[in-house]
Structure 1
Amino acid sequence: MSIALGLSFLMPLEAVSAQSVQAANAGTQGAAAGTTGAPAAQSKNASEAPKNSSNGGKKNANSKGNPTELSAVTVTGILGSIDRTIDVKREETAIVDAISAEDVGKFPDTNLAESLQHITGVEITRDNNGEGQYVTVRGLPTDFTLATFNGLSATSVDLGVRTFDYNLVSPDFVSTLKVYKTSRADLDEGGIGANVDMETVTPFGIGKESATITAKGQGSPGEPDNRYYPNLTGLFSDVFDGGKFGATFGFDWNKRAFLNQSSDPSPFYGVTLNGKGPYYAYSETGYSNMESKVDTRTVYTSLQWKPLDSTTATLTGFYAHRDSFYVTADNGVVPLEPFGAPSYNGPGASYAVDQNGVLSRLSVPVVAYTFYNTYSDDRATMKNLRLNVDTNVGSWEFSETAQYSKSGDTLEWMRPLLINSTVGGQTPTTGSPVYGGYQIYPGAPIQGYVLDPSFNVSDPSQWANQQFKDVTETGNDTIKSLQFDVTRYFDDGILDSIKFGAKAYDRPRSYDYNYWTYAFQPGQTSDSLATAVQSPSWATNVLSGYSGPGTRPSQLFFINPNLWLNQYFGGSLNNFRSNPQTVYYNNPGNNWDMVERGRDAYAMANFKFDGSVPISGNVGLRYVNTFEEFLYDSYNIADITFPSCHIGIAGCEGAIFPPISRQDTRGASHVLLPSLNASADLTDNMVLRFGASKTISLPTIDSMVPVPTITVDSFQIAEGNANLKPFSSINYDLSWEWYFRPSSVLSLAGYDKQIHGFIQQGSTTQNIGGYTFYVTYPVNASDGYVRGLEADYKQALDFLPSFWSGLGFEINGTISDGQTDAAPQYNVIATQFPGLSKKIFNATVFYEKYGFSGMMTLNHRSQYVFDPNLWGYNTTEQIANGRNQVDMHLQYAFTPHLTVFVDSKNLLNTPIVYSEKLRNGPSTEYPGEWLLNGRTVMLGATLKF
């Protein structure tokens, strides 16, 4: 359990318009809690409306006003947020959901992804610490969700992909998260699933002097090696010189710790035992305890200048750095040695086979016991600098924007590795045969070990074949962009406004990988890793949070790699790397550079019909031209030789590669993207919306880089394809909304996306040096679809008497289906979209009255395919099991300046559970990864000036 003293705050799960968000941030405290039905204020300076404002470019009546006069009386708290939600749903022509900060520096949740998951149709993927990281909208892969900062595409810290890591961004400086479920011509391309825009706070948006200080202490009482860590946040904003100048400054330091337990078996593969089979077996099973510490630091500033009533310049800077430190103690059993051996012919094999041909129990004397620590440091950094100038001249509005965004990630890890394997009928340490394997228990999410009692896995002296690995990975992603937008407004007629613009950007990326291995020689004891063995309490009690059947080691030890380096290399990695016994693993895929250039243009018309059924909307066309160039090293993989290496769990770092040369490969694509959004006011309290569009998502970078990457110890080769074309989708959306009473709404929506040119993994096999390698490569192989229904019902029970009038609730859910079609020519079968849960459900009960507010939220996500081709094998799918998470928030305001609260995340302490099943086989599911992160409790206070 984790305890945190802080200023986090769970909010109701609702959408708010850009106008009402800024009014809430700028305005004075409004009606007392419990007031309902008040419309959200719409006052907002036009300079604060980004080019992608939710009204589709409609001119604001107050666009020429003084920002210091923009204060508005707004209902605050839970009900105030619901009112703003309802307001934007009624006024919007596109289908957009959003979440807003209730006050300056007071965003719902301490993690943006976890806030987004409460929006209808949004799902999230969690990292190894259980924190929200990636976002999926309407069941499509995370790469189909485009993340933008203030309307412009954001860089990614993840190496080789376009997926955005929402866990890096501090929510304290975000005013609004918008999820665009239908497209518009003035939106950046790339989001087939949705565009998620992060709008940051600005001084004119806040509109007054404001200061907030947050202090939090967070730890894990009762857990081994518990420590308390700080979370400090400060935000100051003010306007000066009669509203002509404004400045906002903020910082956030958030350090936290996690103790994770996990089980993670390998994929199934085909084997024969003494001529019988083929059967399917785990090539390895393993358990681990992991201690991690995450330290995130953010600095934010926004400066605004209004030299003329018609012109506003905004400079926004954002810097975030996250240092994630992980240490694991991991124990595994490889029942057939060498790793992944396809057959065993000999005595001593004991096994059981189920009806699907899966070895449910396996024990053989050809076995490897493995133990290793991973000692890793992952340093991720993101910088974003944006300059925007907005000018209003009569009925014309001009906007010019320049952006510089850069993200980088450096991952360094060291891994001491111990192996005791049966070689030539006996093990080096025991001098006699040792057997081992695994046992699957029906219905249990975790498999057990079959352990030889003659081998004590908790005794470091019984291990042999020692090894030490050192790896560094570095990647960078940069965007330099210029954009120009023009809007012409009209006072009368069907045409409300026209908007057109252009954008040019360059996006260079780079990747560098280095890998060193120190293999101990037979009989070498002076450098034994046993001299660096320690026994910290976090490494013991394997899977103490799991009470199911199965045999597991009762204790694990820990090899401190820094201690070992100090003992034998003076604490210097350079000394280690330059040692003659250290082998540098050379792969041409270690280094590559690329640049992506985009040139876009669009035109969009906003229209309105004032008939018996008023209709408004927009129609537009966007042109996208993209060019990629790759610089990389390459060689003929058929000429690789393995003169002296042992292909097994120890890997094959001694492989000899042929000469390499620098290559230059280019790719390009261009496309027209039409879009239409329309809304009809059927009655005074009922709205019908329709959207139709064509959208694209660009191929992931790692799928395009045309470099062979070889994983020798699992016989795999992965190659990229620079000639991949973007995914494209034809989309149709329909939404019906009924506002049957104040602070209440019932809405139903349906959507259909027909995706073309879906990128799949083609596969083949190739013999290299006498070994068969499984080769995968991406291709535009097939089409696909996703369709579904969404429902949202929220209601404040303010009509109840007395105390009960503070109650309310929200229920929303999504039912969806989708798949990619088969492509037999590439050995690709029809499969459900990875990440698509057929059922998503959110339920919230809230109360707000007499200074007290609280809520409890249940989030349910049904089973989904996590990886349709686990580890690149063509045998196993990885399935994420359905999961419920319950969160709770309680708060009491002593004064308008001081609030105390208690929050609990993952109140039920629910683990994250995966299963494995055979591709093209029966639906039977077998134990996969099991991960327990624990619950988090936060105690804290908010102080405002």
Structure 2
Amino acid sequence: MNQRASGTFESQAKHRLVLKTGVAVLAAAGLLSAFPVLAQETPAADPAAVPEAVVTVTGVRRAAQSAQKIKQDAENVIDSIVADDIGKFPDTNVASTIARVTGVQVRRDGGEANTVLIRGLPGIATVLNGRELFTTTGRYIQLADIPSTMLQRVDVYKSQSADLLDGGIAGVIDVRTNRPFDFKGFTAAINGGGTNNSQADRTDPNLSGMISNRWKTPMGEVGALFGVSYVRNHYSEERAFNTKPIDKSFLLPNLTAPDLMGLQNVKGDRRRAAANYALQWKPNKDVELYAEGLGTHYLNNFETDFLVALPWWGPGDTMSGTKIPNTNQLQSLTSHNVNTIMSTQANRADNVTQQHAIGGRWSAAPGLKLSTEIARTLSDFDWQNPILDTLTVMPTSVVNTNIGGSANVSYSGQDITDPKNYRLDQLFDRYGHDSGASTDWRADGTYTPADDGFFKDFGFGVRAAKRTAASIKSFEGSVAATGTVSAASLPGLNCTSEMNNNWGTTSWYTPCASYLISNTADIRKAVTGSAAGKDLDPGSYFADEEKNYAFYGKAHIGWETGGIPIDGVLGMRVTKTDADLLGNSLLNGVYVPTAKSSSNTAYLPSANFKLQLRDDVVGRLSLSKTLTRPDFAQLNPGTAYIASGATVQATASGGNPDLKPFTARNLDGSLEWYFAPTGMVSAALFRHDFKGYIQTRITKETYNGQVYDVTRPFNTDDGYLQGAEVAYRQFYDQLPGWLGGFGLEANATYTEGETTTSGDNSMSGKPFAGMSKWSYNVVALYEKFGISGRLAYNWRSKFVQLYNDGGPGLDLIAAPISSLDGSLGYKINDNTSITLTGANLLNFKYTDYWKDKALYPRDTRRYDRSVGLFLNWKI
């Protein structure tokens, strides 16, 4: 592997894996066995370099060697991660793996890594075997939705070239799956096991299988591959929270304090099922035809159980408070006869995405190779999100804004878990549907002249794609209960939320999420007197049709200067996008259809140079222009308003149909020293200059007499991002005996950047939201005597999540994030291996805050620690 290469249902008591007792042995962690195909491309180590070492190149070492070879030979600035063996990628989640790539930063929520940034930027194109892949109305697919067991490798492109798909201003992540011609003959692999999550207290299956073969027939060589994967994951995330500081000087002079405090218990049951196929036919040495596809089904039932303390609000409350020493911010507050909300946000997310492609390659003439492909992608997403609030009056509440960095809430005077003490208060009834589809055709060619002159080869290609996206959801807002209805009158509704961490309270009554989802009509009837659901909101609807045409040309050149061979690839990509957007705008209380058309043509030049300074030293220089188009949802002309309630503030969100694609001019330079087949040191500098970078901001807008905090995207004026990367990898083969199995990977990235925005000084000169200034990875590796291990530590510095989140100047900041993951494997025989894995081994605590962590903490979160055991068998 190349580390350098880019809530939920109630938990059920199940058997705990004895693996929990084995976390400590993960001090030398890793995966195992061999990847048979890519290693054939990698030259053997020079025996003169390690005269007394006998090195067996398998598993972890072979994956690192293959990834290093890909990087060394590439025309672009690229880093790769290669599978250790068939069905054995370093992590079950692709996003978790690429978090260890130099310059890549990820965000972890809901029990897994999700949001991915390359060098601090979110504009990433995700492609599957070179083809655009997305989910419904987005421009990309969540990498976690692609089963890692199906992967051959992942390539992270940090510099652009003319033949790469446009749309990734930060880079391109190309996910490569296996094909039958990758193997010598019949191949089968089964990978199965289970993962235990500590807070969810569940052990779930993780199963995958692949079978592949190739045959020589009278019609030529034929190959077929089929794969399946199923991953289930019960997860838990526990939170304590404060809301933003506001004036509470009626209690103490100049006092500021959160209006609400509370706890959240996030629980989920996530399932991913997938299947892929690949068929290849080579009728002769000059022609190859293929068909391949991937289908994924993502189902996530999850809930967030809220305990919302309203310490300032009660029918006859009396209170006393203290300030944090030497400040005006509240420390603790004791209140009596306090209204308290117990709320459940139930969620069901169901997404199906599939992509099918057919294509062919033809060696048409000496030096001329042609290829073509047509692909069809379909994606549908249905979601439900009923939210039910119940209300009680607690005799005594004691809240503290900051104990050990987090909020603390405790109650006394009555049983907080008894549903007879609660009444139904209000219902938020939400649901929606998104869909997306595309047809994508491309044709490419290369011509290599017979003579080895200045021009080495020429590339050219054309692409035509039609993309549609549509979305609609129900009206937002709450409906208050009519009359007094006891929560105990609906027995199926009564659950208890249990937490592993103690933030003053460890359990409370909560509405059952499963009952909310399955019996929503009954809840509506009990709360509102009518079983009818909310209508679909015309203001939320949008439908977009986008046509993209692109062609490119590139030339591979080469010459020698001062005895230094120089290779270069010069290219130009011209891309034209025509879009027709249909939505509904609200005018004087009436929805009016709104159509908007746009057309944009961009010229994207690129130049990538590679200097072979020595046989083992490479210098690179890359210049390019890139663009990223707005997401379809960002272009929606409608606005969805959510009226204020006990657990929901008056907020709104909408799109901006006037958004433009944003562009960047990029400069990358690097120096790479490959001192061994699995040994390298590199350093890189980069600079991106932006125009029209899309940021999200919150502004005050008045609608129907109420002021809302409205979140919308907008184009900034200009901006830049720059930084540096360093990376190191080495296996210490020269060490004696068992010590010769150790290896180390380490990398670090520094980024800085800002944007300017006319007429909005609050956003100008600010770093990019989501970008950490520093990030680094340290990975210890081991492979010898059938034992393989990997222990990886990932860290990123604090970053701004959202500007002006708590009002002007109150930016929401996430504290530094870290993760320690590992695995330990043993090769039983040539066909069988066993692997023990662990994630979040240090039990990381996430925190975010406004301005000052000690004074204004918002969320404190605890995640699962995961331990898994897997058996891999192949023939």
The TM-score range, normalised by the shorter chain, is 0.7 to 0.9
2:822 is matched with which residue?
888
Instruction: Find the partner of 1:241 among 216, 222, 225.
Output: 216
User: Contact conserved, 1:497 with 1:607, CA < 8 A, in 2?
Assistant: yes
C-alpha separation in 2, matches of 1:900 and 1:691:
43
Higher strand share: 2
Shift, 1:274, TM fit = 3.6
Instruction: Find the partner of 1:782 among 717, 723, 726.
Output: 717
- What is the SS of the residue equivalent to 2:716? strand
- After TM superposition, the score normalised by the length of structure 2 is 0.88
Instruction: Find the partner of 1:137 among 105, 114, 118.
Output: 118
C-alpha separation in 2, matches of 1:480 and 1:566:
36
Aligned pair in 2 of structure 1 residues 21, 76: CA closer, same or farther (>3 Å)? Answer: closer
C-alpha separation in 2, matches of 1:367 and 1:577:
22
Instruction: Find the partner of 2:447 among 488, 503, 515.
Output: 488
Aligned pair in 2 of structure 1 residues 24, 568: CA closer, same or farther (>3 Å)? Answer: closer
Instruction: Find the partner of 1:478 among 427, 437, 440.
Output: 437
- What is the SS of the residue equivalent to 2:68? helix
Task: State whether structure 2 residue 841 is matched by structure 1 residue 907.
Answer: yes
Shift, 1:468, TM fit = 3.6
Task: State whether structure 2 residue 190 is matched by structure 1 residue 213.
Answer: yes
C-alpha separation in 2, matches of 1:565 and 1:377:
8
User: Contact conserved, 1:367 with 1:437, CA < 8 A, in 2?
Assistant: no
Shift, 1:190, TM fit = 1.4
Shift, 1:794, TM fit = 1.1
In the TM superposition, what whole-angstrom CA distance separates every residue of 1:602-623 from its partner, at most 9, and x where no partner exists?
1111111145100002011111
Aligned pair in 2 of structure 1 residues 2, 477: CA closer, same or farther (>3 Å)? Answer: farther
Structure-to-structure mapping, 1:828-907, within 5 angstroms: 828-870=763-805, 873-874=807-808, 876-907=810-841
C-alpha separation in 2, matches of 1:467 and 1:488:
68
RCO comparison, higher one (Cα < 8 Å, 6+) = 2
Task: State whether structure 2 residue 545 is matched by structure 1 residue 595.
Answer: yes
Shift, 1:499, TM fit = 0.9
User: Contact conserved, 2:163 with 2:552, CA < 8 A, in 1?
Assistant: yes
2:616 is matched with which residue?
685
Instruction: Find the partner of 2:557 among 596, 603, 607.
Output: 607
C-alpha separation in 1, matches of 2:633 and 2:413:
46
User: Contact conserved, 2:28 with 2:791, CA < 8 A, in 1?
Assistant: no
Task: State whether structure 2 residue 248 is matched by structure 1 residue 292.
Answer: no
One-letter amino acid of the structure 1 residue matched with residue 826 of structure 2: Y
Instruction: Find the partner of 2:290 among 302, 311, 314.
Output: 314
C-alpha separation in 1, matches of 2:35 and 2:720:
35
Aligned pair in 2 of structure 1 residues 278, 610: CA closer, same or farther (>3 Å)? Answer: same
Aligned pair in 2 of structure 1 residues 578, 126: CA closer, same or farther (>3 Å)? Answer: same
Aligned pair in 2 of structure 1 residues 732, 292: CA closer, same or farther (>3 Å)? Answer: same
Task: State whether structure 2 residue 179 is matched by structure 1 residue 202.
Answer: yes
1:381 is matched with which residue?
352
2:93 is matched with which residue?
111
C-alpha separation in 2, matches of 1:458 and 1:606:
71
- What is the SS of the residue equivalent to 1:106? coil
C-alpha separation in 2, matches of 1:897 and 1:742:
25
C-alpha separation in 1, matches of 2:622 and 2:377:
31
User: Contact conserved, 1:446 with 1:930, CA < 8 A, in 2?
Assistant: yes
Task: State whether structure 2 residue 5 is matched by structure 1 residue 24.
Answer: no
Structure-to-structure mapping, 1:497-536, within 5 angstroms: 497-514=457-474, 519-525=480-486, 531-535=491-495
Shift, 1:751, TM fit = 0.7
User: Contact conserved, 1:602 with 1:621, CA < 8 A, in 2?
Assistant: yes
- What is the SS of the residue equivalent to 2:420? helix
One-letter amino acid of the structure 2 residue matched with residue 288 of structure 1: Q
Shift, 1:183, TM fit = 0.6
- What is the SS of the residue equivalent to 1:481? strand
User: Contact conserved, 1:607 with 1:618, CA < 8 A, in 2?
Assistant: yes
Shift, 1:562, TM fit = 5.3
One-letter amino acid of the structure 1 residue matched with residue 406 of structure 2: I
Aligned pair in 2 of structure 1 residues 102, 524: CA closer, same or farther (>3 Å)? Answer: closer
- What is the SS of the residue equivalent to 2:474? strand
Aligned pair in 2 of structure 1 residues 849, 717: CA closer, same or farther (>3 Å)? Answer: closer
Task: State whether structure 2 residue 636 is matched by structure 1 residue 705.
Answer: yes
Shift, 1:87, TM fit = 2.4
Provide the aligned C-alpha RMSD in A: 3.6
C-alpha separation in 1, matches of 2:290 and 2:586:
49
User: Contact conserved, 2:30 with 2:791, CA < 8 A, in 1?
Assistant: no
User: Contact conserved, 1:469 with 1:515, CA < 8 A, in 2?
Assistant: no
Instruction: Find the partner of 2:865 among 930, 935, 939.
Output: 935
Instruction: Find the partner of 1:439 among 382, 397, 400.
Output: 400
Aligned pair in 2 of structure 1 residues 223, 261: CA closer, same or farther (>3 Å)? Answer: closer
User: Contact conserved, 1:155 with 1:478, CA < 8 A, in 2?
Assistant: no
Aligned pair in 2 of structure 1 residues 214, 275: CA closer, same or farther (>3 Å)? Answer: closer
Task: State whether structure 2 residue 373 is matched by structure 1 residue 401.
Answer: yes
Count of residue correspondences: 840
Shift, 1:882, TM fit = 1.4
User: Contact conserved, 2:585 with 2:638, CA < 8 A, in 1?
Assistant: yes
Shift, 1:874, TM fit = 4.2
C-alpha separation in 1, matches of 2:722 and 2:735:
39
Shift, 1:935, TM fit = 1.4
- What is the SS of the residue equivalent to 2:655? coil
Shift, 1:154, TM fit = 1.1
1:49 is matched with which residue?
none
Aligned pair in 2 of structure 1 residues 257, 777: CA closer, same or farther (>3 Å)? Answer: closer
C-alpha separation in 2, matches of 1:851 and 1:30:
22
Shift, 1:446, TM fit = 0.9
C-alpha separation in 2, matches of 1:177 and 1:800:
31
- What is the SS of the residue equivalent to 1:79? helix
- After TM superposition, the score normalised by the length of structure 1 is 0.82
1:65 is matched with which residue?
none
User: Contact conserved, 1:34 with 1:805, CA < 8 A, in 2?
Assistant: no
C-alpha separation in 2, matches of 1:34 and 1:605:
34
C-alpha separation in 1, matches of 2:814 and 2:221:
53
1:150 is matched with which residue?
129
C-alpha separation in 1, matches of 2:855 and 2:613:
49
In the TM superposition, what whole-angstrom CA distance separates every residue of 1:592-650 from its partner, at most 9, and x where no partner exists?
211122111111111111451000020111112122222222213xx5xxxxxxxxxxx
Aligned pair in 2 of structure 1 residues 327, 199: CA closer, same or farther (>3 Å)? Answer: same
Aligned pair in 2 of structure 1 residues 362, 507: CA closer, same or farther (>3 Å)? Answer: farther
User: Contact conserved, 1:36 with 1:79, CA < 8 A, in 2?
Assistant: no
1:553 is matched with which residue?
505
Task: State whether structure 2 residue 525 is matched by structure 1 residue 584.
Answer: no
One-letter amino acid of the structure 2 residue matched with residue 408 of structure 1: D
Aligned pair in 2 of structure 1 residues 784, 456: CA closer, same or farther (>3 Å)? Answer: farther
C-alpha separation in 2, matches of 1:117 and 1:568:
40
Task: State whether structure 2 residue 874 is matched by structure 1 residue 944.
Answer: yes
C-alpha separation in 1, matches of 2:36 and 2:837:
26
Aligned pair in 2 of structure 1 residues 671, 36: CA closer, same or farther (>3 Å)? Answer: farther
User: Contact conserved, 1:617 with 1:679, CA < 8 A, in 2?
Assistant: yes
1:424 is matched with which residue?
none
Aligned pair in 2 of structure 1 residues 217, 83: CA closer, same or farther (>3 Å)? Answer: closer
Q: For structure 1, which segment, 704-713 or 456-465, has the greater mean C-alpha deviation from structure 2 after superposition?
A: 456-465
Uncovered stretches (5+) of structure 2, i.e. residues with no partner? 1-14, 21-25
One-letter amino acid of the structure 2 residue matched with residue 305 of structure 1: W
Shift, 1:435, TM fit = 7.5
User: Contact conserved, 2:697 with 2:804, CA < 8 A, in 1?
Assistant: no
In the TM superposition, what whole-angstrom CA distance separates every residue of 1:114-139 from its partner, at most 9, and x where no partner exists?
1111111111122311x122211111
Uncovered stretches (5+) of structure 1, i.e. residues with no partner? 15-19, 39-72, 339-343, 421-428, 640-657
- What is the SS of the residue equivalent to 1:614? strand
One-letter amino acid of the structure 1 residue matched with residue 843 of structure 2: N
Structure-to-structure mapping, 1:12-411, within 5 angstroms: 23-24=37-38, 75-129=57-111, 131-140=112-121, 142=122, 144-156=123-135, 160-220=137-197, 226-242=201-217, 244-266=221-243, 268=244, 270-271=246-247, 273-274=249-250, 280-336=256-312, 350=321, 352=323, 358-361=329-332, 368-393=339-364, 394-411=366-383
One-letter amino acid of the structure 1 residue matched with residue 565 of structure 2: P
Aligned pair in 2 of structure 1 residues 629, 21: CA closer, same or farther (>3 Å)? Answer: farther
C-alpha separation in 2, matches of 1:682 and 1:257:
52
Aligned pair in 2 of structure 1 residues 501, 842: CA closer, same or farther (>3 Å)? Answer: same
User: Contact conserved, 1:81 with 1:102, CA < 8 A, in 2?
Assistant: yes
User: Contact conserved, 2:424 with 2:527, CA < 8 A, in 1?
Assistant: no
